[in-house]
Structure 1
Amino acid sequence: MGAYRFDWSERLRIRIPVLEMEWEQYKAAEQLAIVEQWELIRGTIPDRIMEFERLINIKQALLFEEESFEQSCILNYEIADYASRINDLHIWYRIDQQLEARRHS
């Protein structure tokens, strides 16, 4: 195995690629192995997004009923955190297109 790995991100609940070299420095076989492994991980991203959206909906329902300002602030923070995670997952989901473009350049 070359100088790459996939580290678990507890925040995003997926494994994230960690490349220790520039993409062009990897041999074609390593690039293919990275892309294949990433595709398996990438396929789980829509499920993570749906999971976080479900949690946002629960928090929003709680927020609608909440009367305590302090608790409302906590719920708003949690909603914003899950929304940030969804945004990050969308970015990671698009990584595939960037890798494919680099492979064909």
Structure 2
Amino acid sequence: MKDYFSYDERLGISIPILEKEWEEYSKETRQLILLYWEKIRGKIPDRIAILEKWINSKQEKLNDESDFERCCELNHDIAELASIINDLWIWYRINQDISKIHH
């Protein structure tokens, strides 16, 4: 599946990289892509739960932090983690609409 997916370091999952229109892939290839995507998609909620724990940990540190620079760093980290979670939810919702992804 390496021809159809690429690991995204930021998101921590592989995402589809479809270079042709969905209909241009054989039926067998489309089924394999969908099966592989469903395996990845099924792991997204677990990935989100891990990121939420990291956010909670950083928020606890932020509550006890008095250094302004460190507060800014923690806020930045929290915002980045929240952004990743948002992007993961978008990918999670794609489900069978993977056919509309085209790069």
Amino acid aligned to 1:45 = I
- Which stretches in structure 2 are left out of the alignment for 5+ residues? none
Amino acid aligned to 2:38 = E
Query: Who is 1:44 aligned against?
Result: 43
Give the length in aligned residue pairs.
100
Query: Who is 2:73 aligned against?
Result: 74
Query: Who is 1:92 aligned against?
Result: 91
For 1:14 and 1:71, the matched residues in 2 are separated by 29
Deviation at 1:99, TM superposition (A): 3.3
Give the CA RMSD over aligned residues.
Answer: 1.8
Could you tell me whether the CA contact under 8 Å between 2:34 and 2:96 is conserved in 1?
no
Structure 1 residues 4, 95: CA separation in 2 closer, same or farther (over 3 Å shift)? farther
For 1:54 and 1:78, the matched residues in 2 are separated by 13
Q: TM-score, normalised by structure 1?
A: 0.88
For 1:31 and 1:8, the matched residues in 2 are separated by 19
- Which stretches in structure 1 are left out of the alignment for 5+ residues? none
**Secondary structure at 2:17's aligned position in 1?**
strand
Identity of aligned residues (%): 51
Q: Stretches of 4+ moved more than 6 A in 1?
A: none
Deviation at 1:36, TM superposition (A): 0.4
**Secondary structure at 1:36's aligned position in 2?**
helix
**Secondary structure at 2:14's aligned position in 1?**
strand
Query: Who is 2:55 aligned against?
Result: 56
Could you tell me whether the CA contact under 8 Å between 1:42 and 1:93 is conserved in 2?
yes
